[in-house]
């Protein structure tokens, strides 16, 4: 999940990183008061979990409280790359002598954490020619201080600014490890006219698999947590169904506008099925990933959720040759869901293809209701092609 700028800055500030003075505002009036409190020239920044805000017009400069209020009224409510701006950050404007890029992420090819540095900050790092790349170990509590010094030296910084920058880089590396970041990008890191370094902007992506040990981070970032949980009613119901019963997975339901409901899984088979459906010119009503060994209730509720969308007139049930999922339980859940909606399983289900454990029991049930099913001798795409 992405931690938005002001909450990421609060986290870094608490760790001792130099963050410019800033206040948040949810209205132009609050923005005016914030600018007045900060004094002097300010920056007004939209707080949305996306990059490239400058280009998209989400960052504005103001030379007075009135201008700050005006900037906030433009930004608040604006759609910025799919996100409505609900909050802005008002921050003191820095006098920039030098701008750098300091970031940490994981390098999949090297299977290691990676410190990225560039003497050209402020713009998209992808377009910068020379980027320093230093791999570092995640086995320790933090980034070794000498690695931070080497990085600072490689940026051509000398003297007092060198010492301060080295310590800033170390703190960025330490925070990356400690806060279970997948990406912690400080861009730009700014040297002002008093020879002081500041982290002027932050991009922080948290590892969702580490949430269990980052509880206090989540608690101190309620705005980002709410944005990450922002789902449609359809997606919310799917999550509810999944969480109501620990058996099996009713993974990620994403609605589309087609007429064919998809009850599909596991992950790789879901991807394969979606390709086959679109290649055949059919229109999916949703994406989904079922897996593990879901209960009859879970499958029944998912079936109903998918079929209750008004444009859906039929259902395709497909999984790879399953090892742990019980075919009969899935068949029972699907049929039960359709019957509870007062519909006929033999006409609603276009294809049922889940070969594997307990398939004979499942097929018996499908036979009883006249449902068309396919065995392991047919691949996923052949099943889809047969229903076009």
Partner 1 sequence: MTILADAMTRILVQGITGREAATFTAESIAYGAQIVAGVTPGKGGITIHGVPVYDTVQAAVSAHPVDASVISVPPQFALDAACEALANGVKLLVVVTERMPRRDVVTMLETAARAQARVVGPNTLGVISPGQTRVGMAGGSAHAVRRAYSPGNVGVVSRSGGMMTEVANLLTQAGIGQSTCVSIGGDPIVGSTILDLLPVYEADPDTHAIVMFSEPGGIMEERLAAAVKKHKPRLPIIAFVAGRFADRMQGVRFGHAGAIVQGTQGSPAAKIAVMRDSGIIVANKLYEIPDLVREALLRR
The crossing angle, in degrees rounded to 10, of helices 159-178 and 5-14 is: 110
Rule CB under 8 A: is residue 248 a binding residue for partner 1?
A: no
Rule CB under 8 A: is residue 141 a binding residue for partner 1?
A: no
> 177 is written with which tokens?
């490890």
| Residues in 184-223 that interact with partner 1 by CB under 8 A | 207, 209-210, 212-213
Rule CB under 8 A: is residue 289 a binding residue for partner 1?
A: yes
CA quadruple 366, 372, 375, 380: dihedral sign: negative
Residue pair 287/274 in contact by the 8 Å Cβ criterion: yes
Size of the site for partner 1 (CB under 8 A): 51
Using CB under 8 A, which of 47, 166, 187, 320 touches partner 1? Answer: 320
106: left (phi over 0), alpha (psi -120 to 50) or beta: beta
Using CB under 8 A, which of 92, 272, 309, 386 touches partner 1? Answer: 272
Q: Which stretch binds partner 1 (CB under 8 A): 33-41, 219-227, 259-267, 337-345?
A: 259-267
Rule CB under 8 A: is residue 247 a binding residue for partner 1?
A: no
Q: Which stretch binds partner 1 (CB under 8 A): 216-224, 227-235, 299-307, 313-321?
A: 313-321
Rule CB under 8 A: is residue 11 a binding residue for partner 1?
A: no
| Rounded CA separation 315/150 (Å) | 59
| Rounded CA separation 35/13 (Å) | 20
| Rounded CA separation 337/40 (Å) | 63
Using CB under 8 A, which of 254, 280, 339, 387 touches partner 1? Answer: 254
| Residues in 47-86 that interact with partner 1 by CB under 8 A | 82
Cα–Cα distances in angstroms (integers) from residue 346 to residues 32, 80, 261, in the given order: 64, 46, 15
Question: Smaller CB distance to partner 1: residue 192 or 381?
Answer: 381
Half-sphere exposure of 268 (CA within 13 A, CB side): 3
Rule CB under 8 A: is residue 286 a binding residue for partner 1?
A: no
Q: Which candidate, 125, 133, 165, 129, places its Cα nearest to that of 149? A: 165
Rule CB under 8 A: is residue 274 a binding residue for partner 1?
A: yes
| Rounded CA separation 123/286 (Å) | 37
For the bound state, the minimum distance from the C-beta of residue 279 to partner 1, rounded and expressed in Å, comes to 8
Rule CB under 8 A: is residue 267 a binding residue for partner 1?
A: yes
Q: Is 82 exposed, middle or buried (0-12, 13-18, 19+ CB in 10 A)?
A: exposed
Q: Which stretch binds partner 1 (CB under 8 A): 94-102, 137-145, 308-316, 362-370?
A: 137-145
Residues that bind partner 1 (CB under 8 A): 82, 106, 108-109, 111-113, 137-139, 177, 180, 182, 207, 209-210, 212-213, 251-252, 254, 265-272, 274-276, 278, 287, 289, 291, 319-324, 355-357, 376-377, 379-382
């Amino acid at each position: 999940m992405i931690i938005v700028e002001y909450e990421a800055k609060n986290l870094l500030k608490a760790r001792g990183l130099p963050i410019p003075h800033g206040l948040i505002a949810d209205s132009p009036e609050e923005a005016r008061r914030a600018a007045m409190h900060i004094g002097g020239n300010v920056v007004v920044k939209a707080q949305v979990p996306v990059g490239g805000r400058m280009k998209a017009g989400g960052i504005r400069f103001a030379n007075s409280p009135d201008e700050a209020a005006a900037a906030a009224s433009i930004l608040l409510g604006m759609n910025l790359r799919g996100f409505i701006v609900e909050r802005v950050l008002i921050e003191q404007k820095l006098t920039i002598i030098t701008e750098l890029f300091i970031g940490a992420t994981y390098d999949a090819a090297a299977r290691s954490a990676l410190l990225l540095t560039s003497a050209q900050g402020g713009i998209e790092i992808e377009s910068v020619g020379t980027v320093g790349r230093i791999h570092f170990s995640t086995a320790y509590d933090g980034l070794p201080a000498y690695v931070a010094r080497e990085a600072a030296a490689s940026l051509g910084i000398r003297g007092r600014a060198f010492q301060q920058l080295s310590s800033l880089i170390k703190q960025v590396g330490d925070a990356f490890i400690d806060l279970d970041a997948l990406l912690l990008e400080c861009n730009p890191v700014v040297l002002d006219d008093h020879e002081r370094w500041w982290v002027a902007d932050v991009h922080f992506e948290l590892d969702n698999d580490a949430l269990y040990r980052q509880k206090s981070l989540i608690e101190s970032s309620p705005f980002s947590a709410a944005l990450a949980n922002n789902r449609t009613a359809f997606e919310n119901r799917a999550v509810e169904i999944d969480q109501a019963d620990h058996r099996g997975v009713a993974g990620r339901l994403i609605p589309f506008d087609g007429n064919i409901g998809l009850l599909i899984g596991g992950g790789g088979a879901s991807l394969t099925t979606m390709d086959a459906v679109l290649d055949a010119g059919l229109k999916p009503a949703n994406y989904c990933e079922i897996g593990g060994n879901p209960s009859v209730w879970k499958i029944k509720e998912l079936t109903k959720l998918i079929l209750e969308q008004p444009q859906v007139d039929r259902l395709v049930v497909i999984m790879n040759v399953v090892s742990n999922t019980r075919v009969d339980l899935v068949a029972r859940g699907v049929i039960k869901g359709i019957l509870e909606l007062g519909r006929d399983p033999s006409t609603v289900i276009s294809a049922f293809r889940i070969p594997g454990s307990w398939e004979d029991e499942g097929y018996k049930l499908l036979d009883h209701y006249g449902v068309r099913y396919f065995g392991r001798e047919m691949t996923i795409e052949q099943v889809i092609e047969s229903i076009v």
